[in-house]
C-alpha cells in the first residue's frame, strides 16, 4: 500500500447478524481517511483515528440521519502512532506496544467520544496475554475479547479487579481462553457485531475476500458466504445486545418510495427483425477519418474448403468496396455453400462472418482491417441469412486500420506464464466482484497497457493520419489452428434479496455472443464478437438460491487461437491472429458449470433508490417472475483466457431464463430492470 494515498472507509449494514440468512449490505456510505492514519471503532457509532503526529481524533457516525460517516467530535493528544494495534469496547481503550505490553485507558463518555481519556494500567504480564499479543486479529464484544491466532478463534473475559482499598485503581485482568473454532487457515481478521456472534474474513488464493459468520455458544458456522470482496481493515460498531428483525427489509436512512405497481407477468418478445441479406461496416484511418476505395472480402468465419484437422481456406461469400467515408455494404447469397450451411446448422442457425481489407499508408506501412459480423436466419425463411435481430451492433461496426506484417513479426511471441500474471485480465480474474466495465478496447497478453497506448505508432512515427491506398493482386486467406483452451465464461446472473429465491437456466444449445480478440500489430483489439450456438440441447443452471444472494453463472467454452495468412499471388502479405469462442465443452473430469463472481452489490436499497422509477415493479408474495425474452446485458470480464479478458451477452428464450421468486414475509418485494423497464429490455432483473 502507498501510505501517501488516501484510503476509503466503507460502511456495511450487518442485517440479522444471528440469522443464517442475514446479509452484510453495502450502504453506499463512504469517507476518505489519510493513508498515514490508523482507525479503530468503539461502539455507539464512535470511531477513532490515530494520526501520524500522535493525535487521537474521535468521530461520530451520523450517516443514518443524513450526516457524515466521520463527524468530528474531539481531538486528544495520545502517543498511539507507534502502537502495534489499538482496539476498544467503548468504555475502555487497549493499546498494545511493540514489546507486547497492553495498556488500558478509560473513556469517560463512551457513547459520544467527547469525554476524558485517562490512563489506567497495563494488563499484568503472564495474565493470559500470550495468545492476545501474538494474535493476527483482536476484537471485543462488550467484555468478551476474541483473538484469531493461527486459524483458531478463541475468547476470554476481560474484567477489572479492585484491591482492598476502594479508591485504588482497578487491576485489568484476562480470564482463561476458550476455543471457539479452528482450521481457519485462510482467515486474516475477525470482528463481532454483538454478543455471541463473530465473523471472519478470508484472503484466499483467489483473492475472494469471503466473510463467514459464526453464532451461538458453540460458535457454529451459520453462513460460509455472508459477503465477498471485503478487504483491508474491518471494524465493527459492536452492539450491546442483538435481536433479529421480524421480517423487515434492510433499510438505511429513509425508506425508499415504492414503485406502486405489480411487475408484469411476462416480458414481451423483441420486435420482429427486418428481413435483410446485407451486412455492412466502415473502415477508417487511425485518426477516425474514412478510408475510401478499399476492397472488402466477406468470408464465413467457421467454414471453408481444403479442410484439414488444423487449417482451412474460409469460403468467400461477398465482396464490396469502401465509399468516400470508408463505409461498405455487401449482400450475402440466397443459398449458402454447402460447407457454410453445415456450419450454420451446427451453430444453432447462426452465421458468423469476417470482413477483411488491407492497404498501404503513404509512408509504406502495410495496414489491415478485420471486422466480425453475425447473421441468423429469419423465423419464416430459415434458409436465408438475415440481420441478427438480437444484437443490432453486430453490423455497421467502425474498424480502424492498424499496422500489420507479412510474416507476423509485429505480433511477437506468445506470452510466458509469468507475463500473463501481469496483465489486465489477471487483475480482473483475481477480483471477487463483477466489473461494470467496459473491457479495454486494446489489451496485451504480456502486461498492462498504458492508458495512452496507441497501436498506430510504427518505428517511433505516428501513421494514424496517413492516407491508405489499396493493394492489388489475386488473394485468398488460409486459417491455421494454433491451440485451444477452456475458459469458464459468464452467461448469466441471478439475484435474490430480502426473502426471495433466485434461479437461472441455460442450455448448451446456447445463444450467446462472445467477444473475439484480433492481433496484427503486437496488442489485441477487443471490439468484435461471435455468435455461439449448438444443435444439441442439454440444460444446466441453478434454483432456489437465496435469500440475500447474487451470483454470475459460468459455463465452459472452448476458445481457439488461430493464425490467419492473406496470400496474394502465392506470397504472404498480411498475418494476424484471432482468439475465438467455439463451443460449450466440458474439460475431461471438469465441472459442467460453476458459480462466478459475486453481484450482490447490485441489489438492495441504495441501488433501488437510484434506479429509474419506470424500471421498477412489485413482485407479489409467493409469486415468481421470469425473464425469458430479449437480450441480456453484456458482462465485462466474462472470461479471462490467453491473457485477455472478453465480454459476453446472452439471448433469453425458452431455454435461457433468469427467475426470481418472492417469499411470504410481510414487506413487499421490489424488482427492477438494470437497463430498461420490466416491460421493455431490462437485461437482468435486480432485487430489493
pLDDT digits (tens, 9 = 90+) for 152-191: 999 999 999 886 666 577 899 999 999 999 999 889 999 9
Comparing CA positions, the residue from 312, 308, 372, 315 lying closest to residue 341 is 315
Residues 486 and 374 in one domain: yes
Comparing CA positions, the residue from 414, 377, 621, 336 lying closest to residue 500 is 621
Dihedral sign of CA atoms 313, 314, 316, 321 in order = negative
User: How far is the C-alpha of 54 from the C-alpha of 575, rounded, in Å?
Assistant: 63
Residues 205 and 352 in one domain: no
In this predicted structure, the answer to whether residue 682 has a pLDDT above a threshold of 60 is: yes
pLDDT digits (tens, 9 = 90+) for 217-248: 888 999 999 998 888 889 999 988 888 887 78
Candidate ranges 274-283, 584-593, 629-638; pick with highest mean pLDDT: 584-593
Comparing CA positions, the residue from 546, 545, 516, 554 lying closest to residue 644 is 516
Considering 166, 199, 227, which residue would you say is the last residue of a domain? Answer: 227
Residues 316 and 179 in one domain: no
Comparing CA positions, the residue from 271, 295, 274 lying closest to residue 375 is 274
Residues 306 and 220 in one domain: no
Q: How many domains in the chain?
A: 2
DSSP assignment string, 120-155: EEEPPTTSS-HHHHT-SEEEEETTEEEEEETTEEEE
> Is 190:200 a contact under the CB 8 Å cutoff?
yes
Q: What's the Cα-to-Cα distance from 75 to each of 37, 57, 649, 654, rounded to whole Å?
A: 14, 4, 53, 63
Comparing CA positions, the residue from 432, 404, 18 lying closest to residue 219 is 18
Q: Within a domain: residue 258?
A: no
Q: Within a domain: residue 93?
A: yes
Comparing CA positions, the residue from 206, 187, 209 lying closest to residue 198 is 187
Considering 194, 227, 260, which residue would you say is the last residue of a domain? Answer: 227
pLDDT digits (tens, 9 = 90+) for 383-428: 555 544 333 344 568 999 999 999 999 999 999 999 999 999 999 9
**DSSP annotation of 262:** B
Q: Which residues pair with 658 in a beta bridge?
A: 504, 627
Residues 6+ apart with CB under 8 A from 205: none
Residues 141 and 290 in one domain: no
**DSSP annotation of 65:** G
**C-alpha triplet 217, 219, 223: angle, nearest 5°:** 130
**DSSP annotation of 548:** S
Residues 223 and 322 in one domain: no
User: How far is the C-alpha of 445 from the C-alpha of 525, rounded, in Å?
Assistant: 11
Per-residue confidence at 435, pLDDT binned at 50, 70, 90? confident
Comparing CA positions, the residue from 406, 398, 335 lying closest to residue 564 is 406
Per-residue confidence at 259, pLDDT binned at 50, 70, 90? low
Residues 206 and 294 in one domain: no
In this predicted structure, the answer to whether residue 377 has a pLDDT above a threshold of 90 is: no
> Is 95:80 a contact under the CB 8 Å cutoff?
yes
> Is 663:608 a contact under the CB 8 Å cutoff?
no
Residues 163 and 282 in one domain: no
Average pLDDT, the chain: 89
In this predicted structure, the answer to whether residue 554 has a pLDDT above a threshold of 90 is: yes
User: How far is the C-alpha of 520 from the C-alpha of 49, rounded, in Å?
Assistant: 53
Distance of CA 649 to the CA centre of its chain: 14
Dihedral sign of CA atoms 418, 187, 61, 256 in order = positive
Task: Tell me what pLDDT residue 165 has.
Answer: 64
Nearest-Å Rg of the Cα atoms of the chain is 31
Q: What's the Cα-to-Cα distance from 394 to each of 351, 390, 397, rounded to whole Å?
A: 12, 9, 7
Residues 157 and 305 in one domain: no
User: Residue 201's domain is classified under what CATH number?
Assistant: 2.115.10
Peptide bond before 462: cis, by omega within 30 degrees of 0?
Answer: no
Q: What's the Cα-to-Cα distance from 283 to each of 280, 293, 325, 574, rounded to whole Å?
A: 10, 10, 8, 17
Per-residue confidence at 284, pLDDT binned at 50, 70, 90? very high
User: How far is the C-alpha of 614 from the C-alpha of 509, rounded, in Å?
Assistant: 34
Task: Tell me what pLDDT residue 263 has.
Answer: 53
Q: Within a domain: residue 451?
A: yes
Task: Tell me what pLDDT residue 158 has.
Answer: 96
Peptide bond before 547: cis, by omega within 30 degrees of 0?
Answer: yes
Comparing CA positions, the residue from 112, 51, 98 lying closest to residue 76 is 51
Comparing CA positions, the residue from 129, 131, 238, 138 lying closest to residue 189 is 138
Largest CA distance in the chain: 107
Residues 312 and 221 in one domain: no
Comparing CA positions, the residue from 121, 89, 91, 95 lying closest to residue 106 is 91
Helix H segments across 39-187? 130-133
Strand ranges across the sheet with 669-673? 616-619, 669-673, 685-687
Residues 178 and 314 in one domain: no
Considering 211, 227, 243, which residue would you say is the last residue of a domain? Answer: 227
Per-residue confidence at 381, pLDDT binned at 50, 70, 90? very low
Mean pLDDT of 341-369: 93
User: How far is the C-alpha of 356 from the C-alpha of 350, rounded, in Å?
Assistant: 20
- Grid-cell match 451486412, residue found: 279
Q: Within a domain: residue 232?
A: no
Task: Tell me what pLDDT residue 244 has.
Answer: 80
Q: Within a domain: residue 270?
A: no
Q: Within a domain: residue 233?
A: no
- Grid-cell match 507486547, residue found: 100
Residue 2 φ/ψ, nearest 5 degrees: -85, 110
Query: Helix, strand or coil for residue 31?
Result: strand
Q: Which residues pair with 553 in a beta bridge?
A: 492, 595
Q: What is the pTM assigned to this prediction?
A: 0.88
> Is 155:177 a contact under the CB 8 Å cutoff?
yes
> Is 123:158 a contact under the CB 8 Å cutoff?
no
Residues 6+ apart with CB under 8 A from 70: 9, 31, 33, 47, 49, 59, 61
Task: Tell me what pLDDT residue 379 has.
Answer: 46
Residues 204 and 299 in one domain: no
Comparing CA positions, the residue from 497, 494, 550, 598 lying closest to residue 209 is 598
pLDDT digits (tens, 9 = 90+) for 21-48: 889 988 889 999 999 999 999 999 999 9
- Count CB-CB contacts under 10 A for residue 441: 13
- Grid-cell match 455453400, residue found: 337
Q: Within a domain: residue 50?
A: yes
- Grid-cell match 427489509, residue found: 249
Structural domain boundaries, residue 212: 7-227
In this predicted structure, the answer to whether residue 268 has a pLDDT above a threshold of 70 is: no
Q: Within a domain: residue 268?
A: no
Amino acid at each position: 500500500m502507498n501510505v501517501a494515498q488516501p484510503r476509503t472507509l466503507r460502511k456495511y449494514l450487518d442485517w440479522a447478524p444471528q440469522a443464517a440468512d442475514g446479509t452484510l449490505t453495502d450502504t453506499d456510505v463512504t469517507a476518505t481517511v489519510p493513508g498515514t492514519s490508523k482507525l479503530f471503532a468503539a461502539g455507539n457509532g464512535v470511531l477513532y483515528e490515530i494520526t501520524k503526529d500522535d493525535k487521537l481524533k474521535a468521530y461520530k457516525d451520523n450517516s443514518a440521519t443524513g450526516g457524515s460517516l466521520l463527524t468530528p467530535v474531539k481531538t486528544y493528544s495520545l502517543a498511539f502512532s507507534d502502537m502495534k494495534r489499538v482496539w476498544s469496547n467503548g468504555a475502555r481503550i487497549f493499546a498494545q506496544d511493540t514489546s507486547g505490553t497492553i495498556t488500558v485507558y478509560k473513556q469517560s463518555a463512551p457513547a459520544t467520544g467527547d469525554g476524558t481519556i485517562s490512563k489506567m494500567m497495563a494488563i499484568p504480564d503472564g495474565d493470559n496475554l500470550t495468545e492476545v499479543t501474538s494474535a493476527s486479529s483482536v476484537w471485543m464484544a462488550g467484555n468478551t475479547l476474541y483473538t484469531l491466532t493461527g486459524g483458531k478463534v478463541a475468547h476470554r473475559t476481560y474484567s477489572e479487579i479492585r484491591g482492598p482499598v476502594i479508591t485504588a485503581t482497578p487491576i485489568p485482568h484476562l480470564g482463561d481462553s476458550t476455543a471457539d473454532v479452528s482450521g481457519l487457515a485462510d482467515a486474516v481478521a475477525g470482528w463481532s457485531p454483538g454478543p455471541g456472534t463473530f465473523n471472519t474474513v478470508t484472503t484466499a488464493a483467489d483473492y475472494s475476500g469471503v466473510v463467514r459468520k459464526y453464532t451461538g455458544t458453540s460458535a457454529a458456522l451459520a453462513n460460509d458466504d455472508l459477503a465477498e470482496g471485503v478487504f483491508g481493515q474491518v471494524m465493527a460498531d459492536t452492539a450491546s445486545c442483538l435481536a433479529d428483525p421480524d421480517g423487515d427489509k434492510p433499510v438505511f436512512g429513509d425508506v425508499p418510495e415504492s414503485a406502486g405497481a405489480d411487475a408484469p407477468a411476462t416480458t414481451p418478445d423483441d420486435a420482429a427483425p427486418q428481413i435483410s441479406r446485407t451486412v455492412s461496416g466502415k473502415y477508417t484511418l487511425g485518426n477516425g477519418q474514412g478510408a475510401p476505395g478499399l476492397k472488402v472480402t466477406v468470408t464465413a468465419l467457421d467454414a471453408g474448403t481444403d479442410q484439414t484437422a488444423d487449417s482451412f481456406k474460409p469460403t468467400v461469400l461477398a465482396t464490396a468496396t469502401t465509399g468516400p467515408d470508408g463505409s461498405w455494404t455487401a449482400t450475402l447469397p440466397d443459398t449458402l455453400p454447402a460447407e457454410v450451411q453445415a456450419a450454420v446448422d451446427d451453430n444453432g442457425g447462426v452465421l458468423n462472418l469476417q470482413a477483411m481489407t488491407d492497404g498501404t499508408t503513404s509512408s509504406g506501412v502495410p495496414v489491415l482491417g478485420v471486422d466480425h459480423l453475425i447473421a441468423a436466419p429469419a423465423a419464416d425463411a430459415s434458409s436465408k441469412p438475415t440481420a441478427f435481430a438480437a444484437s443490432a451492433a453486430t453490423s455497421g461496426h467502425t474498424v480502424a486500420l492498424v499496422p500489420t506484417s507479412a510474416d507476423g513479426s509485429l505480433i511477437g511471441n506468445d506470452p510466458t506464464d509469468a507475463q500473463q500474471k501481469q496483465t489486465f485480465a489477471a487483475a480482473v480474474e483475481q477480483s471477487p466482484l463483477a466489473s461494470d466495465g467496459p473491457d479495454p478496447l486494446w489489451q496485451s497478453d504480456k502486461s498492462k497497457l498504458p492508458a495512452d497506448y496507441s497501436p498506430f505508432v510504427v518505428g517511433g512515427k505516428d501513421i494514424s493520419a496517413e492516407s491508405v491506398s489499396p493493394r492489388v493482386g489475386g488473394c485468398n486467406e488460409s486459417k491455421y489452428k494454433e491451440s485451444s483452451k477452456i475458459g469458464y465464461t459468464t452467461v448469466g446472473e441471478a439475484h435474490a434479496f430480502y426473502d426471495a429465491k433466485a434461479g437461472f437456466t441455460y442450455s448448451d444449445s446456447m445463444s450467446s455472443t462472445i467477444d473475439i480478440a484480433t492481433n496484427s500489430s503486437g496488442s489485441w483489439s477487443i471490439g468484435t464478437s461471435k455468435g455461439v450456438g449448438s444443435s444439441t440441447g442439454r440444460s444446466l443452471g441453478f434454483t432456489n438460491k437465496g435469500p440475500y444472494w447474487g451470483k454470475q453463472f459460468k459455463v465452459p467454452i472452448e476458445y481457439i487461437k488461430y493464425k490467419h495468412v492473406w496470400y496474394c499471388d502465392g506470397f504472404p502479405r498480411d498475418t494476424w491472429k484471432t482468439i475465438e469462442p467455439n463451443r460449450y465443452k466440458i474439460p475431461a473430469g471438469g465441472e459442467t458449470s460453476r458459480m462466478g463472481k459475486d453481484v450482490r452489490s447490485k441489489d438492495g436499497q441504495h441501488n433501488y433508490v437510484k434506479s429509474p422509477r419506470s424500471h421498477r415493479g412489485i413482485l407479489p408474495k409467493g409469486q415468481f417472475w421470469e425473464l425469458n425474452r430479449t437480450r441480456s446485458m453484456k458482462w465485462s470480464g466474462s472470461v479471462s483466457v490467453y491473457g485477455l479478458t472478453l465480454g459476453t451477452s446472452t439471448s433469453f428464450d425458452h431455454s435461457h431464463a433468469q427467475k426470481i421468486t418472492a417469499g411470504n414475509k410481510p414487506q413487499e418485494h421490489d424488482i427492477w430492470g438494470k437497463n430498461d423497464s420490466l416491460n421493455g429490455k431490462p437485461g437482468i432483473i435486480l432485487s430489493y
